[in-house]
């Protein structure tokens, strides 16, 4: 809503915030319920709905991280062409493409698992309806869906990480060519933080997929669950801090908004108290 923040980077951050809320809302409430009250039941339809939203949100988020890396590349390496390259139409096209890609890749996965025959145990050995954990409960061979998950995730994440790495390599080259040491340190601090958040997202996420494919005989179940939980909880927790509070423009505007609300509230309270006091004086006999 703030006109000073209507730039490509902040628009991507807005979409990232929405995706993080969807991802966290799909998993955390039920996870907290399991750990706090022991309520570990979930309906069949709710389980597959949760599975779809979790995997679709993760696929959208990896695309957004790529779009944000591209935005930083254009801003640092081609600053004079920034407005011409990242037009509103291009940003909309990128956002739509990211969403369509996630839908195309993730819809068949949930559909394949949901159409497996389930006739044995109904206990999902996980903190949420992770597709491999659910597929292992099927009476049929779960390998087709697990293989699709492995190949699809490798294609999406592999291509995104490759382009992100290429963007940051070009950014580093541009940063080290700067004459000002302060500018170098500032750019390296910002890029280093972003790369750290991406590492916390990609490494546990891909590790959880590969270790789940290997099975409990090689990797303990508790390790598999922990890895899967890390990439769903840690990045949405850190993103508002890394991309929000550490960003000067957002921090400044947020502080201004909070100050405005607090002072308006205190002034309103003082005004109400003054009005009540006036009314009491008016009721007093002369």
User: What CATH number has the domain bearing residue 22?
Assistant: 1.20.1070.10
How many structural domains does the chain have? 1
Rounded-to-10 torsion of CA 103, 105, 109, 115: 70
> Which 3 state secondary structure label does DSSP give 30?
helix
Q: Is residue 210 part of a domain?
A: yes
Query: Contact 244/177 with Cβ under 8 angstroms?
Result: no
For 214-240, write each residue's pLDDT tens digit. Answer: 666 676 777 778 877 887 888 888 888
For 132-165, write each residue's pLDDT tens digit. Answer: 888 888 888 888 888 888 888 888 888 998 998 8
Tell me which residue range forms the domain holding 26. Answer: 6-246
CA distance 194 to 239: 9
Q: Which of 164, 156, 200 is nearest to 57 (CA)?
A: 156
Q: Which of 179, 199, 182, 181 is nearest to 69 (CA)?
A: 199
pLDDT of res. 187: 72
Q: Is residue 266 part of a domain?
A: no
Q: Is residue 277 part of a domain?
A: no
For the chain, what percent of residues have pLDDT higher than 90? 5
Q: Is residue 113 part of a domain?
A: yes
CA-based angle 25:28:30, to the nearest 5? 100
Q: Based on the number of CB atoms within 10 Å of its own CB, is 26 exposed (0-12), middle (13-18) or buried (19 or more)?
A: buried
Residues 75-85: what's their mean pLDDT?
A: 86
């Amino acid at each position: 809503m703030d006109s000073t923040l209507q730039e490509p980077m902040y628009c991507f951050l807005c979409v990232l915030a929405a995706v993080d809320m969807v991802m966290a809302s799909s998993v955390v409430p039920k996870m907290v319920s399991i750990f706090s009250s022991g309520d570990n039941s979930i309906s069949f339809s709710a389980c597959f709905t949760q599975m779809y939203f979790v995997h679709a949100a993760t696929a959208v988020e990896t695309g957004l991280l790529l779009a944000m890396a591209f935005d930083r590349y254009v801003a640092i390496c081609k600053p004079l062409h920034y407005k011409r390259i990242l037009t509103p139409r291009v940003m909309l096209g990128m956002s739509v493409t990211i969403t369509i890609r996630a839908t195309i890749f993730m819809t068949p996965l949930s559909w394949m698992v949901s159409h497996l025959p389930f006739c044995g145990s109904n206990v999902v050995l996980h903190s949420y309806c992770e597709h491999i954990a659910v597929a292992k409960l099927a009476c049929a061979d779960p390998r087709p869906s697990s293989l699709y998950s492995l190949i699809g995730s490798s294609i999406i994440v592999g291509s995104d990480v490759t382009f992100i790495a290429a963007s940051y390599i070009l950014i580093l080259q541009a940063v080290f060519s700067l004459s000002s040491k302060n500018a170098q340190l500032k750019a390296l601090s910002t890029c280093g933080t972003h790369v750290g958040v991406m590492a916390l997202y990609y490494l546990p996420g891909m590790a959880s997929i590969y270790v789940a494919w290997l099975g409990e005989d090689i990797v303990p179940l508790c390790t598999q669950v922990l890895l899967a939980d890390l990439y769903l909880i840690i990045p949405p927790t850190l993103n508002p801090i890394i991309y929000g509070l550490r960003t000067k423009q957002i921090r400044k505007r947020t502080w201004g908004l909070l100050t405005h609300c607090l002072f308006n509230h205190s002034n309103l309270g003082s005004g109400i108290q003054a009005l009540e006091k006036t009314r009491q004086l008016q009721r007093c006999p002369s």
